Amino acid sequence: MRFDVLTTFPEVFEGPLGSSIMGRARERELVDCRVHNIRDWTHDRHRTTDDYPFGGGVGMVMKPEPVCEAVRDLQGQPPEGLVILTTPQGKVLDHQLVEELAGEKRLILLCGHYEGVDERVSDLVVDREISVGDFVVTGGELPALIIMDAVIRLVPGVLGAEESAQADSFAWDGLLDCPHYTRPREYEGHSVPDVLLSGNHGEIAKWRRAQAIKRTAERRPDLLATAKLSDEERDFAETVLRQETD
């Protein structure tokens, strides 16, 4: 899978793309990540990518010319890519959307900055606008990295054991993940649950499933509406919810 990132701050990507899972995925050539400086598509001596907004107001706005030219140049290289603008106005990223993006052959990630990007960029060259949450960060670079990290984890072969990604939060029938423990067995008065030491894998699976439902009901009850639960499991979740509100 190929990623192309368009940014005015390419140095932000050097560390993350060379580390951990993303770094190993690149070394094994499972993904191709290319970072491009939007300033390379400017035509003035100062390599200007932003200007004052029409109508006044604070901040600067990214100009349409270099951004559109950059996207079109990249789209001229096969395979065809889905162009994504990272913006607080976009669809909020969730696991379902990550799975959709992982099905693409190529993603072109456009990082907004300053007060935003000229609206004509979205009109002309952007396919999807995506937000990583209801908050504002300095620029689109960190959201782009979040999107890349989430998608790369789902690329076949990246994690080694594909079931690892399927056991993560949200991937497990729309539930949060269950608690995890490792050595030592006891730490500062807190012990590992006995069932995890029993060797009974059937009971361990039941415990983990119940804990995932309980944790979701306690922390993210909004997820229960779309979670894949049996009637018995849904009754259990509702019991937890009632206990939380009592």
CA 22 vs. chain centroid, Å, equals 13
Q: How far apart are CA 150 and CA 16, in angstroms?
A: 13
Joined tokens for residue 35: 């970072």
Written as one letter, the residue type at 84 is I
152: nearest Cα among 111, 110, 98, 108: 98
- Does 222 qualify as catalytic in the annotation? no
H or E element in which residue 83 lies: strand 82-92
Q: How far out from the chain centre does Cα 77 lie?
A: 25
Catalytic choice (50, 104, 141, 153): 153
**Alpha helices of the chain — where are they, by DSSP H?**
14-17, 20-27, 64-75, 95-102, 119-125, 141-152, 163-166, 201-219, 231-245
Q: Extract the tokens encoding 43.
A: 């035509």
Known catalytic residue: 115? yes
Q: In the 8-state DSSP scheme, what is residue 146?
A: H
Active site residue 51: no
> Of 39, 31, 123, 134, nearest to 85 (Cα)?
123
Which tokens belong to 60? Answer: 């600067």
**Locus of tokens 């960029």:** 121
131, containing H or E segment = strand 128-131
Catalytic residue among 168, 173, 177, 218: 168
Residue of 10, 53, 88, 221 marked catalytic: 88
**Is 235 an active-site residue?**
no
> Which residues are identified as catalytic?
88, 115, 153, 168
